Structure 1
């Protein structure tokens, strides 16, 4: 590029130096004209000496002509310099624009080739892996990555059935592999509609602002036609619901592990209610939305129905939630507060304690909630041990059992003002969880 500029400058100099208008004049006085020969007819008188005034006049006239001539030449030189400078500046600007254009095209070409290569190999190392590792290391918030659809197709092997981890009402969750050893969960949401689109955008908006050890991390999203995709961190042990009500029937969850899960959920809710400004109401706390990682650390997921800011009333928000977890005041009067999440937490606590589903069918036309069935027995110390999940029965200190049952009773009170703050629940559980599981209980 510099060689081209230098050659252009030299060419301009040569062109202008060879131009006649730019050549500097040489001051040469012309010879006097030779008079025509005349035959002598008579003796000419001797020539008279020119007077001084005639010489002065001739001399001053010659100087004036020379001054005017030099002024014209200086003007021409100035005009030529201005023209050459303008031309040179234009050429340099044109070359600079061309250089930027080539650089931009080369960069776009490299990016497109890299994306095509990554999609073909089923790899997206940039937006997913980098964000997850950096957030995990620093605990900082960040934007959610937009992921190309071919990348998700390759990572899930074209959404094969053997990659399905869970199924829900809106779609399936697939196991995806990005790179050689990085795994994530891809939730595929079917169907359009304003409601589904609003939940999709709400999930992205909230999870891009909050970051907590007990809230699942959203790594990226994708929009492909009417289908929406959300990419989460991998939670190897699935949902709490699959453990309590699946084939294992809670056999992998000991008493201390169950209270540790309750403590993790309380920590996540305390962050939403007390640490976020404005506070966030999850609105859909349930065992299927509590996910467990490889070490059984519990994290809250599914923020599509979450509400941030203010105290919404029945006229400003549509009734949503899951039967069995919805607080009575929200179900009947549309009143929604942080205490609505506390009620749902109390239902999850009863699931952990008793091992039964939140709503069970007792006849063809009748269902019974776990709250209605358990409440009379939770307050009776003689009956309480008999309703505990058989998997953990007689494996805990009775005092701890009574304390957890008392917290559950308070959380599911019909009157919201009688329910405790989630911060109080959190502090009541810490002494019941062993130190190695995140509590303060030490082995005797």
Structure 2
């Protein structure tokens, strides 16, 4: 009898202990999940910090963390009925300098689609979708849009120093980009393209990398723009594209893509190689003999020898690899980031040593 009572008491105690352990485990699991959620959610100010180099906005006017839908009347007011300066122009778009109600300077891109073209409307929708989805310090930041007319409008941050094309091909020798600025710009372009290829869930291929699609802010930081030709949703394998829907700009498009209609990340790598060659040589590569430029190891004469010969040689080798005839022979954007990053680190070390000696 006593033994039975002891056994019953032991079973009861064991059950209570098991219950306590299970409750403790459940509480810890819930606590860990909550902590995980809190770590994954950005704190207030984190996103703002990422885009803090753009214009200042009041909460009443435009929250920098959201994308506002504007009316066409508001777009007309910002651009003073499209009488403000045109700061950019493409085949089917114009970019106006504009101001928001509170005075912040912005850029308004109008997608011209007077004929109601389905393809042009798709390009506008694609650019809007990708700019809303991709947040990166070196991607132009979208503030708002208007899609209630055939002529879609995108309201974006203003990049005060214009395009890389303008900076590279100015005749004023006083404003020539230094070699250090060129390697930094090359690194930032590589970083943002690597982000598009590998860190956006499904890969994004820009399809139109060229100096006129690289904007520069006041500190000469890169702001990649013009996503109207971009393709998204590719898996690890390449995807065929009809030749009738070719994307890109003459001189920068991958010849393999032109021949086969096959699109892959390597198409961006080729375009980056052309852009890199243009940064090194200062020559408008789209109209030049690229093979000749690569063979002659031409460096921009406006630099007046103010560059490291080993660095330029290494960058030219990288440009050649990016422009290899066979896409499989080209480096990935991640490899390119590593290669230019190592050059930049070595350059900064030399500068630091020289300063300490002085």
Aligned to 2:344: 433
Deviation digits for residues 62-107 of structure 1, max 9, x if unmatched? xxxxxxxxxxxxxxxxxxxxxxxxxxxxxxxxxxxxxxxxxxxxxx
Instruction: Return the offset for 1:274.
Output: 1.3
Matched, 1:158 2:81: yes
| 3-state SS of 2:245 partner | coil
Please list, as runs of the form range in 1=range in 2, the aligned pairs for 1:23-42 lying within 5 A after superposition: none
| 3-state SS of 2:337 partner | helix
Instruction: Return the offset for 1:224.
Output: 4.8
Assess, with a 3 A threshold, how the Cα gap between structure 1 residues 312 and 256 changes in structure 2: closer, same or farther: same
Matched, 1:424 2:335: yes
For residues 221 and 171 of structure 1, the distance between their equivalents in structure 2, rounded to whole angstroms, comes to 14
For residues 97 and 61 of structure 2, the distance between their equivalents in structure 1, rounded to whole angstroms, comes to 14
Q: Which residue, 410, 414, 418 being the options, matches 2:321?
A: 410
- 8 Å contact kept, 1:127–1:147: no
Q: Which residue, 371, 374, 378 being the options, matches 2:290?
A: 371
Unaligned runs of 5+ in 2: 1-56, 354-358
Q: Which residue, 217, 223, 226 being the options, matches 2:150?
A: 226
Relative to the length of structure 1, the TM-score reads 0.62
Q: Which residue, 297, 302, 307 being the options, matches 1:391?
A: 302
For residues 231 and 95 of structure 2, the distance between their equivalents in structure 1, rounded to whole angstroms, comes to 24
Q: Which has the higher contact order (CA 8 A, sep 6+)?
A: 2
Aligned to 2:126: 202
Aligned to 1:293: 217
For residues 208 and 127 of structure 1, the distance between their equivalents in structure 2, rounded to whole angstroms, comes to 20
- 8 Å contact kept, 2:243–2:258: no
Between 247-256 and 200-209, report the one with greater CA deviation. Answer: 247-256
- 8 Å contact kept, 1:256–1:434: no
Aligned to 1:443: 352
Instruction: Return the offset for 1:346.
Output: 0.5
Matched, 1:189 2:111: yes
Please list, as runs of the form range in 1=range in 2, the aligned pairs for 1:20-419 lying within 5 A after superposition: 129-130=62-63, 132=64, 135=65, 142=66, 144-160=67-83, 162-191=84-113, 192-248=116-172, 251-310=175-234, 311-315=238-242, 318-360=245-287, 369-377=288-296, 384=297, 387-419=298-330
Deviation digits for residues 369-389 of structure 1, max 9, x if unmatched? 442221322xxxxxx3xx211
- 8 Å contact kept, 1:431–1:441: no
Please list, as runs of the form range in 1=range in 2, the aligned pairs for 1:11-26 lying within 5 A after superposition: none
Aligned to 1:33: none
Instruction: Return the offset for 1:434.
Output: 6.3
Deviation digits for residues 381-427 of structure 1, max 9, x if unmatched? xxx3xx21112141111111111111111111111111111111111
For residues 301 and 283 of structure 1, the distance between their equivalents in structure 2, rounded to whole angstroms, comes to 12
For residues 418 and 178 of structure 1, the distance between their equivalents in structure 2, rounded to whole angstroms, comes to 48
Assess, with a 3 A threshold, how the Cα gap between structure 1 residues 349 and 205 changes in structure 2: closer, same or farther: same
Assess, with a 3 A threshold, how the Cα gap between structure 1 residues 254 and 197 changes in structure 2: closer, same or farther: same
Deviation digits for residues 156-178 of structure 1, max 9, x if unmatched? 22211x52112221121111111
- 8 Å contact kept, 1:250–1:391: no
| 3-state SS of 2:269 partner | helix
- 8 Å contact kept, 2:179–2:306: yes
| 3-state SS of 2:88 partner | strand
For residues 184 and 224 of structure 1, the distance between their equivalents in structure 2, rounded to whole angstroms, comes to 20
- 8 Å contact kept, 1:283–1:307: yes
Assess, with a 3 A threshold, how the Cα gap between structure 1 residues 157 and 359 changes in structure 2: closer, same or farther: same
Instruction: Return the offset for 1:236.
Output: 0.6
For residues 266 and 184 of structure 2, the distance between their equivalents in structure 1, rounded to whole angstroms, comes to 22
What is the RMSD of the two structures over their aligned residues, measured on CA atoms?
Answer: 2.3
| 3-state SS of 1:443 partner | helix
Unaligned runs of 5+ in 1: 1-123, 136-141, 361-368, 378-383
| 3-state SS of 1:408 partner | helix
